[in-house]
Amino acid sequence: MTKRKLKTGNVILTILFAVISLFFLLPLIWMLSAASKTEQDVWTFPIQWIPEHWNFINNFKTVWMGDISFGLFYLNSIKIAVISTLATIVISAMAGYALSKLNFKGRGMVFTLMLAFMMIPEQATLVPRYIMIKELGLYDSHAALILMGMFSSYFTFLLRQFMVGIHNDLLEAAELDGAGFLRIFWSVVLPLSQPILATVGIIKFIWTWNDYQGPLIMLNSTKLYTIPLGMQFFKEEFGTQISVMMMASVAAIVPLLVLFLALQKQVIEGIAIGGVKG
Amino acid sequence: MSEQAMIQKTAEAPPKIFWTRKKREQLAGWLFIAPEVIGMLVIAVFPLVFSLVLSLTEWNLVGGLSAIHFIGLDNYINLFHDNRFIQGLKNNVLFTVGTVPLTMLLGVVFSAVIHKKLYAKAYFKVAFFVPYICSTVAIAAVWQALYHPSKGPFNQLLMQIGISDPPRWLVDTSYSLIAIMIIYVWQLLGYQIIIFLAGMTNIPEELYEAATIDGANGIQQFRRITMPLLGPTTFFLAITSTISSFKIFDMIKFLTDGGPNYSSTVIVYQIYEEGFEHFKMGYASAMSWVLFLIIMLVTSITWITQNRKVHY
């Protein structure tokens, strides 16, 4: 490759796109700005991007230290997202191992079934799943959401595709050393699958974190609400106070955004493999 | 017995092992796959079948499972005389037509420019991707403020440039769906860029080098090399984007509740309203099956055309 020199055309395009990306992100910048203002200043036009009267602390207190606070919603969301992510990883990794490295009768059929399961849209089974959860006595509990979020044929598929590429010699060597299948799975396959496990984990975590429909249908008590339901709750309580609403949006978005920026490589890669392999 | 004989004995006649390695592997395979298979049967397959049964009944949850009574295909017949449902179907189609081609077009152009022309690619990837990972509900709250009919920044701007009667966006029957489509395109663009970029990275650089030697300019290269080789990626995105646009719900529920006057209702919102607000479980299940069949139809197009897909 020849050494790249800065090309004027590309520099201009880069600047142009930097401006476009700034405009693209304006709604989020507006959110941050409005969350730091007094209510009267929210609507001033032209927009005061830097608040004249700072009100960040008060809005922050309303959102985080009220009777019903975002702190509670956070605990609920973290609990549900962590447990369902861990469960999904274990269950899908086990299934991925079986589908890629163990020979058993019916494996082909099970794999085809998994692909077929991927086509069942969650939205089409809302009613029966709600009835099942009610009949099981799990309505209005976090267990309902975790149970519904533990199984994913999509992630099983991604893990299986990755594990197919693990060399059989490594597994055979472990077996010669006397390892059983569980041992091989735990000490050989899982460590070798770490990159894909991280990718699947972070994506599953983000999806669960942002899920609105599941909690909307399965939960009733305010104290069990996750962050998206908390947003709904704040809308009902403070809908007219835009600065407070924007602080709530900041609370819902910013921590996840920080997580994303820290792990952007895994997130973007994860989205891309899902897309390219189909 | 000599040592020789002993060795021979152990080697020759291993005691009849019932528990062979092959059998153990069979069992292990099934044990490892079992949680996933059982889970999927319980949370996906059974509900799908159950909703087909429910769709032939009338039931409002009261009186338990014994109060269900069968009414044949009545729910399905009623569906097609239900103006709200028809409106929902129409809105779904409008939504798909209005968002999928536009996002894909923007996606392919943006990713081509990012891939071929821009410095600091990593920044652009992340910047455009940010809305995609944000909570849809939190984003919707921001746009709701931006869309405020009299005080919101959009309409203040429109009034400033001389439009005295700007659209009332989310509370306007003729603009509510468009307002949501704009948010949707904004949130999804980053996803499309990431997938297109992944597709473009797989195109061998030599093709472009050869084209440059032959004197092809950037736009010609895009049309003759990038576009054709992105066939499978484009196809994949078209199918998955169509399917996800048919599943839209979060923004509609949070922003408009399908209104005003059902102008922004969609199928999944109607399922929610009939099932979880009016408790018409049978009727909502019939709607669910119509949604499922639409999605199956779109998916089957993938299967049918898979073998004829553009390969170069």
Q: What is the pLDDT of residue B92?
A: 94
Please state whether the predicted TM-score (pTM) of the whole model is above 0.90: no
Of B133, B243, B281, the CB nearest to A206: B133
Strand positions, DSSP E, A86-235: none
Distance from the A47 Cα atom to the nearest Cα atom in chain B, whole angstroms = 7
Q: Per mean pLDDT, which range of A96-105, A263-272, B176-185, B302-311 is the poorest? A: B302-311
Domain regions of chain A by residue span:
2-62, 67-277
Q: Which residues of B touch A278 (CB under 8 A)?
A: 236
Q: Which of A25, A49, A127, A253 should one mutate to test binding to chain B, selecting the residue with the greatest count of B CBs within 10 A?
A: A127
- Average pLDDT of span A232-242: 85
Chain A hits for B234, CB-CB cut-off 8 Å, are: none
Query: What whole-number percentage of chain B has pLDDT above 90?
Result: 47
CB interface of A with B, residues 135-164, below 8 Å = 135, 147-148, 150-151, 153, 156
3-state secondary structure of A54: strand
The owner of tokens 């400033």 is B160
Whether residue A221 contacts residue B111, with contact meaning beta carbons closer than 8 Å, is answered with no
Distance from CA of A82 to the nearest CA of B (A): 17
On whether any CB of chain B is under 8 Å from the CB of A118, the answer is no
Q: Is the pLDDT of residue B44 over 60?
A: yes
pLDDT at A226: 94
Q: Taking the mean position of all CA atoms in its chain, how far away is CA A234? A: 22
The whole-number average pLDDT for the span A236-265 is 88
pLDDT of amino acid A266: 82
pLDDT 10s digits, A77-133: 999 999 999 999 999 999 999 999 888 888 999 999 888 888 888 888 999 999 999
The pLDDT confidence band at residue A2, using thresholds 50, 70 and 90, is very low
pLDDT tens readout for residues A8-60: 888 888 999 999 999 999 999 999 998 888 888 888 878 888 888 888 888 88
Q: Which of A235, A95, A72 is nearest to A156 (CA)?
A: A95
Average pLDDT, chain B: 86
Nearest-neighbour CA in chain B from A114: distance (Å): 8
When pLDDT is cut at 50, 70 and 90, the band that residue B311 belongs to is very low
Give pLDDT, residue B310. Answer: 44
> What is the biggest distance separating any 2 CA atoms in chain B, rounded to whole angstroms?
111
> Cα–chain-centroid distance for residue B148?
29
Q: Please say if the pLDDT value at position A1 is more than 50.
A: no
Domains in chain B and their CATH numbers?
A: 18-74 (no CATH), 83-311 (1.10.3720.10)
Check B275 against A275: CB less than 8 A apart. no
- Rounded to whole angstroms, the Cα distance separating B234 from B231 reads 5
The helix, strand and coil proportions of chain B, stated in percent and rounded to the nearest 5, come to 75, 0, 25
Cα B204 from chain centre: 30
| A19 lies within 8 A of chain B by CB | no
Which of A95, A104, A268 has its CB closest to that of B25? A104
Architecture of domain A67-277: Orthogonal Bundle (1.10)
Q: Is the pLDDT of residue B65 over 80?
A: no
Report how far residue A174's alpha carbon sits from residue B271's, in angstroms, rounded to the nearest whole number.
52
Q: Which residue has the tokens 């006595």?
A: A137
In angstroms, the separation between the Cα of residue A102 and the nearest Cα of chain B is: 6
Average pLDDT over residues B253-271: 92
Distance CA A5, CA A114 (A): 50
Lowest mean pLDDT of A13-22, A62-71, A225-234, B161-170, name the range: A62-71
Mean pLDDT on A246-259: 90
User: Does the N-terminal peptide bond of residue A46 adopt cis geometry, omega within 30 degrees of 0?
Assistant: yes
Whether B1 has a pLDDT exceeding 50, the answer reads no
Q: Please tell me the distance in Å from A13's CA to the nearest CA on chain B.
A: 7
SS3 helix, strand, coil % of chain A, rounded to 5?
75, 0, 25
Q: Which whole number is the average pLDDT over A130-159?
A: 92
Show residues of chain A in contact with B138, CB under 8 Å: 227-228, 231, 248-249, 252-253
Residue B308 CA: distances (Å) to CA of A275, B235, B240 = 19, 12, 18
B33/A94 CB distance under 8 A? yes
- Residue contact A119–B295, C-beta within 8 A: yes
Residue given tokens 């962050």 in the structure block: A227
The whole-number pLDDT of residue B8 equals 52
A102 closest CB neighbour out of B25, B146, B240: B25
Residues A152-210 pLDDT 10s: 988 999 899 899 988 888 888 888 888 889 999 999 999 999 988 988 898 899 899 99
Least confident of A88-102, A227-241, B132-146: A227-241
